[in-house]
Structure 1
Amino acid sequence: MGKTIVDRTLTLLGRRCAERLAPLTIADVRIGVHFTAVLLSDGHCGVAGTMRPAARPLDKSQRQFGPFSPARIRGQYVGDLFAADQDTLYNRSLTIATMNALSAPLLTPPAYEVLEDTDPLDLFEFGPGRRVAIVGAFQSYIKRVAASGADLQVLEFRPEMLQEAHRSYFVSADTYATVLPAADLVIITGQTLANGTLDQLLQTVNPQAEIMLTGPTASFLPDVLFEYPVKAIGAVRFPDPEQALTVAGEGGSGYHLFKYGAEKICLTRS
């Protein structure tokens, strides 16, 4: 399909938000251990998983002091961020968090089918005879699917990411090309948008399978995602943006975001 899902969604946002985008700036940003949170000048907030590069020594020539480097991000135009040629892991997280903030007021009926306070897993059937693959160690989902008697495999990089009782379901993430085509239901973390692996994963899934994408990172316009067999997207909304910034900046995980005000929404195919 050529460009990535993120690239194509950026183009779509540019068309849908042309007038709104022109004066829009980044009012505040927090890059926490787990999440990057962005507050736009129109008051909307978005978050994305923080992708951290491996620690390594840097030569002076590799140091970055561009417009989207530390101490320079606030006040920058959103359009300039989207056009920036600075593809670092931090900037990818910043870009997707900003896309989520820009998308926030657009994720409403009738443009999209939105289920309030809904766990997307409730929309799927699983149990004996169903083959389920989970990309990422979603502990609550692993527990539910395992208890159902489904044939479960969990793709992760390290077995210790799973609770000890569930480690028998671990398969190395490197084996995704053999695991995903055999699954009837595939549950994927939104973090794959930030780490750049989602496109490759979706191209590997059986076209007849059902796909669920979930997590705060997956909270932008779903149009491009729905071109794949994605049935439901578990996204978030932030009624109190300042609280979201505080939680992200103080090292909060997903459960902290929901404890302190984030609302679950589920985007489904109409």
Structure 2
Amino acid sequence: MATNAILAETIATIEEIAGDELATLTIERVVMGLFFSGVKLSSGHAGACATPLKTIPEAVCCPSSAFAMPFPGKMRGRPAADLLKEAQHPNGLRRAVGIAAMNALASHCWGRRPHPDVVEEANIDAFDAANIRPGQLVVVVGAFAPFLRELRKRGQPFFVLEQDPETLKPEEMPFYRPAEEAPVIVPQADVLLVTGTTLINDTLEGILAAARPDCCKVVVGPTVGLVPDAFLRRGCSVLGGIRITEADEFLDVLAEGGSGYHFFGKSAHKIVLRTCRPGEMRGEAA
């Protein structure tokens, strides 16, 4: 598997911001849930990543799974820097845990150095932050049910690119386009809403590159962390992620098969990182 440039750049930024402190941070807890995986650091910060079960044949075979995840029972106390390297592992399960560790470290780094060109807004949905105007063509990458429902309600023109059409409802199928058509569909977008899980399957780079320069690019989901530098370089103006406020409670929910419906507003809340508007200072939310 080729190096994922967005992940590589994010890791490098984390290493730069954390500096020597990175060597002192260890893993306190790791959970691989049905929908999301999560990591808690010795600093108390936590991060998450979607668990890519559908794309992992090893998940159905115990011997293969043992090979895929060689560290169960041995992660507590390991250097966080070691798990950070897993974010670029070719195996999906290991990559998910690595990205969760990366996002936990990103949360730690945001406290040390918020990005000067970005505003953080709490309890706002990335869909709303995109400020979609009537008539704009929206391309959704991934079956975001709430997004699709709102777009249909508005009568907004849109397409949804999805690898698995079975995740869509019958009324959503007229808007469906196979993921393979991304090179044709994405350049048409006025607004591009992309699932953060594209970081796991290495498709995000190509999707963002295919969008027009004037397109509003939005990447959203718990897989998106709080170090926006690599996304900004690729023209993203809105990142929708989460801030985990109660790490252990959050991981308990993941361990019991929970999803966003179970942790939002309780152990975590939605946040948006967006580029500053002209004349706006970081930390000022309109």
In structure 2, the residue matched to 1:39 is 40
In structure 2, the residue matched to 1:129 is 135
C-alpha contact (below 8 Å) 1:49/1:191 kept by paired residues: yes
Whole-angstrom distance in 2 between the partners of 1:58 and 1:192: 25
Whole-angstrom distance in 2 between the partners of 1:86 and 1:121: 31
In structure 2, the residue matched to 1:103 is 106
**What TM-score, normalized to structure 2?**
0.85
C-alpha contact (below 8 Å) 1:107/1:114 kept by paired residues: no
Note the C-alpha offset of 1:147. Answer: 2.1
| Aligned with 1:69 (options 68, 71, 76) | 71
In structure 1, the residue matched to 2:279 is none
Note the C-alpha offset of 1:73. Answer: 1.6
Note the C-alpha offset of 1:258. Answer: 0.8
SS at match of 2:217: strand
In structure 1, the residue matched to 2:226 is 220
C-alpha contact (below 8 Å) 1:134/1:188 kept by paired residues: yes
Note the C-alpha offset of 1:264. Answer: 1.1
- Residues 1:256 and 2:262 are matched in the alignment: yes
Note the C-alpha offset of 1:260. Answer: 3.2
Cα displacement string for residues 33-73 of structure 1 (whole angstroms, at most 9, x for unaligned residues)? 1111101011111110112312489898996388x522222
**What TM-score, normalized to structure 1?**
0.90
C-alpha contact (below 8 Å) 2:130/2:238 kept by paired residues: no
C-alpha contact (below 8 Å) 1:30/1:248 kept by paired residues: yes
AA of the residue aligned to 2:224: A
SS at match of 1:118: coil
In structure 2, the residue matched to 1:166 is 172
- Residues 1:210 and 2:216 are matched in the alignment: yes
Mapping of residues 16-35 of structure 1, within 5 Å:
16-35=17-36
C-alpha contact (below 8 Å) 2:58/2:64 kept by paired residues: no
C-alpha contact (below 8 Å) 1:126/1:150 kept by paired residues: no
C-alpha contact (below 8 Å) 2:129/2:272 kept by paired residues: no
Identity %: 30
C-alpha contact (below 8 Å) 2:40/2:104 kept by paired residues: yes
| CA root-mean-square deviation | 2.4
Note the C-alpha offset of 1:186. Answer: 0.4
C-alpha contact (below 8 Å) 1:127/1:148 kept by paired residues: no
AA of the residue aligned to 1:162: L
Whole-angstrom distance in 2 between the partners of 1:187 and 1:49: 17
Cα displacement string for residues 1-49 of structure 1 (whole angstroms, at most 9, x for unaligned residues)? x861001110110011012211111110000111111010111111101
| Greater share of helix | 2
Distance 1:261 1:226, change over 3 A: same
In structure 2, the residue matched to 1:151 is 157
Distance 1:123 1:83, change over 3 A: closer
Whole-angstrom distance in 2 between the partners of 1:78 and 1:50: 19
SS at match of 1:17: helix
In structure 1, the residue matched to 2:147 is 141
- Give the gaps of 5 or more residues in structure 2: 277-286
SS at match of 2:202: coil
Whole-angstrom distance in 1 between the partners of 2:257 and 2:191: 32
Distance 1:83 1:160, change over 3 A: closer
- Give the gaps of 5 or more residues in structure 1: none
Whole-angstrom distance in 1 between the partners of 2:16 and 2:148: 39
Note the C-alpha offset of 1:182. Answer: 0.9
